[in-house]
Structure 1
């Protein structure tokens, strides 16, 4: 069964690795989904918002190996 898996977690949508990784996935034609992108962005603005929320970037299992190769090339 093909399901989404988390490839990486980033602390900010201003992280250059995050931006570059998304661009490289787009260029490779790998679709991805982002979890907690909005929540992570507003963290700290509202009292009581959790400070440990990260932006999860997920790809489908079938694309995991290629996505990891891309991620490893920019680290």
Structure 2
């Protein structure tokens, strides 16, 4: 099964963020709590962590790309 990793809502006024760092690449195995990516808003940096155990199937957003809150940034293959 594929699980979507999305940019979470980070505040009332934040509508978009810049993806500034990937901690993973396709094929990497993740456990709950492992860092996936770091994003930057006007006010702060935020690390997106794995909410499930799985393997990175596909990365959908390029480094330094600006994306909206709610955007799917990668897919995890889970059991």
- Report the TM-score, using the length of structure 1 for normalisation: 0.27
Instruction: Kindly indicate which of the two structures has a greater share of residues assigned to helix.
Output: 1
Say which one has the larger Rg: 1
Which structure exhibits the higher relative contact order, with contacts defined as CA atoms closer than 8 Å and separated by 6 or more residues? 1
Instruction: Kindly indicate which of the two structures has a greater share of residues assigned to strand.
Output: 2
